[in-house]
Amino acid sequence: MHTYFHNMKHAYVFPGQGTQFPGMGKSLYEGNSRARDLFEEGNEILGFRISDIMFEGTADDLKQTRVTQPAVFLHSVAAFQSLKDARPDMVAGHSLGEFSALVANGVLKFDLALKLVSIRASAMQKACEINPSTMAAVLGLDDSQVEEVCLAVQNETGEVVVPANYNCPGQLVISGSIKAIDIACERMKAAGARRAVVLPVGGAFHSPLMAPAREELAKAIDSTHFDAAACPIYQNVVAEPLSDPALIKKNLVDQLTGAVRWAQSVRKMIADGATKFTESGPGKVLQGLILKVDNSPVVDGYS
């Protein structure tokens, strides 16, 4: 009995871009002085009142990458810091959420993390402008089928289209040039996909088309101090637990052009003893994905 309880671990997870909504974080700001201080510090670091855009802005205002990423990060960290006695045994974040997770496990100070998120967001926005590109969600196919179609379309067209987010079984997001994504979506439907739908995103995140953003982010990450981890982070590109700051840095850079292995990360966390997952930040997207990967853990959220 004792060993069973000893192995019960509490994982904290943090969402990424696409979970933003008008009014996000407002109740935290109004109801919690610690959250309010954090938002104000964020406004100061960014040099504009992002809290005003979060609380009063439209969905379109929030959709710009340079706003979305810091907004989701701020909301996630404020929610986490408002939790009493949050002591994660492990953490993970979906894409941008890795930066929130690294604040939660003590690797990054809040101000340093927000600066990196801001640099990442503007570098990604610039990369999107260089290469008109997009992403699409493919529902109802096995991962291997999606991978095969992407490879075939790449080989035929010479354009980029790759698996980008392994979200849960039967839900894989692909990323690439507009032309290649259009062809791939038709092929996915022909192969039996329930849906293959282009997403309203600025560009091909987690694909080689993000390479122009890599150098700028790598330089910023390289010159930022990362502390030792209080608990491991299960990183997107490897779906393995890491505590070594040097490796964490490398994976954060690789993540720009590499796939988010979310389903694989969740499986590994459960294999390593996670029996409870708490999502911290806007929305409930990750809670839903986790239960589709494995419905045995207890899943809740704090926003």
* pLDDT at residue 280, rounded to an integer: 97
- Find, among 289, 285, 281, 276, the residue nearest to 104 by Cα: 281
* pLDDT at residue 4, rounded to an integer: 53
* pLDDT at residue 303, rounded to an integer: 85
* pLDDT at residue 2, rounded to an integer: 45
What is the helix (H) or strand (E) element at residue 168, kind and residue range?
A: strand 161-168
Q: Is 206 a catalytic residue?
A: yes
* pLDDT at residue 132, rounded to an integer: 86
Q: Is 94 a catalytic residue?
A: no
CA distance 144 to 204: 20
What are the structural domains, with CATH classification, of the chain?
Answer: 2-129+209-302 (3.40.366.10), 132-203 (3.30.70.250)
One-letter amino acid at 265 equals: S
Note the pTM of the prediction, 2 decimals.
Answer: 0.95
Is residue 34 helix, strand or coil? Answer: helix
Across the range 90-110, mean pLDDT stands at 98
* pLDDT at residue 65, rounded to an integer: 85
Q: Which of 76, 95, 118, 177 is catalytic?
A: 95
138-149 confidence digits (pLDDT tens): 999 999 999 999
Round the average pLDDT of the chain to a whole number and report it: 95
Across the range 91-118, mean pLDDT stands at 98
Q: Which of 75, 100, 206, 207 is catalytic?
A: 206
Residue 137 has pLDDT above 50, yes or no: yes
CA-based R_g, the chain, Å? 19
Residue 251 has pLDDT above 80, yes or no: yes
Q: Which residues on neighbouring strands pair with residue 279, listed in sequence order?
A: 13, 301
